[in-house]
Amino acid sequence: MQKDWVYVGLTSLFELFWIFGFNIASSWWHWIIIVSLIALDFHFLSKACENLPTGTVYAIFAGAGTIGTTLMDVFIFDGEFNSIKAIFMFILVLGVIGLKLADNSPTDKDTKKGAKA
């Protein structure tokens, strides 16, 4: 299970790499690197989804990408950061945590299965 979370971290990291590449690509060979990073990124995404709930993996992938891209824009590309962006990033983190917690809690379906067994 621990290895699956490493895949989640890797897919989130590689997403930031290819998004960064979109911002700096100026030659045809840059695009070859970017497409390779995208392929590697989706490989790690699919590996993470093999044993973890797909909804949780994708929420973390999308949330980390959104927050990472926003911070990359601010710190690397001189974008503007304001309190509204901070509030929505905080809400996004709460949503991802909520989905993770919801995946760990027993559902009525699981309870009914346990009662029959």
DSSP string, 32-85: HHHHHHHHHHHHHHHHHHTTS-HHHHHHHHHHHHHHHHHHHHHHTS-----HHH
Phi-psi region of 101 (alpha: psi -120 to 50; beta: other; left: phi over 0): alpha
Per-residue pLDDT of the chain (117 residues; tens, 9 = 90+): 689 999 999 999 999 999 999 999 999 999 999 999 999 999 999 999 999 988 889 888 989 999 999 999 999 999 999 999 999 999 999 988 888 788 776 665 555 555 554
The pLDDT value given to residue 111 = 53
Calpha distance 93→98 (Å, rounded): 9
- How many CB atoms within 10 Å of residue 33? 14
The pLDDT value given to residue 109 = 55
Sequence-ordered list of residues with C-beta below 8 angstroms from that of 19, at least 6 positions apart, any chain: 65, 68, 69, 72
The pLDDT value given to residue 103 = 76
The pLDDT value given to residue 88 = 94
Instruction: Answer yes or no: are the C-beta atoms of 96 and 65 closer than 8 Å.
Output: no
| pTM of the entire predicted model | 0.76
